[in-house]
Amino acid sequence: MDPGLLAMLIAKARAAQAHAYAPASRFAVGAALLGVDGRVFAGCNVENASFGLTLCAERNALGTAVAEGVRAFHALVVVTPVVEPAYPCGACRQVLAEFAPKLPLFLVGRDDRIVRSTVEQLLPHAFRFEYSGT
Ligand code: THU
């Protein structure tokens, strides 16, 4: 990916991270999803007093994109507040695989350490509608 484009996506993810609502974990996550049309959709985690209702940054970004009519993506940047970048949770991997199984991932740590991966690498054999005949 073009370094300028990646820097822009990291900045957007960090801006969303600054809005994370994480009173329980204090673990603020930001995501920036680049649509094939060039638009960027950001998301942050939103926790809840009923812990299981917490929304992850990645799925929030994806939901916003879908609501804006975008379902195909070039890349996802996820920023986490740790030196060694954290990987997306299993639920986010499955939801991302629905739209973009080969999506390139850029996982970014606190000091801009970047780990590259793809949804397929993190979740081979994701469950698909075809398996259930739908
Ligand atoms: N979190 C995300 O936003 N994305 C992930 O992929 C993993 C975890 C959030 C959920 C919760 O608010 C906090 O990080 C700690 O688990």
Give, rounded to a whole angstrom, the gap between the first and last alpha carbons of the chain.
35
Domains and CATH numbers, the chain: 3-112 (3.40.140.10)
pTM above 0.85, yes or no: yes
Beta bridge partners of 76: 33, 105
Question: Is 84 in the active site?
Answer: no
Question: In angstroms, rounded to a whole number, what is the distance separating the alpha carbons of residues 45 and 43?
Answer: 7
Q: Whose CA is nearest to atom 10 of ligand 1?
A: 56
Residue closest by Cα to atom 14 of ligand 1: 27
The single residue of 58, 84, 120, 130 carrying the catalytic annotation is: 58
Ligand 1 atom closest to the Cα of residue 31 is 3
Q: What share of the chain is helix, strand, coil (3-state, %, to 5)?
A: 35, 25, 40
Asked whether the beta carbons of 78 and 13 are under 8 A apart, the reply is yes
C-alpha 134 to ligand 1 mean position (Å)? 30
Tell me the per-residue pLDDT of 48-80, one tens digit each, with 9 for 90 and over: 999 999 999 999 999 999 999 999 999 999 999
* Residue written as token pair 């949770």: 89
pLDDT along the chain (134 residues), means of 10: 96 98 98 98 98 97 98 98 98 98 98 97 96 88
Question: Amino acid letter at 45?
Answer: N
Query: Which residues are within 8 A (CB) of 113 and not within 5 positions of it... i.e. 6 or more apart?
Result: 83, 84, 85
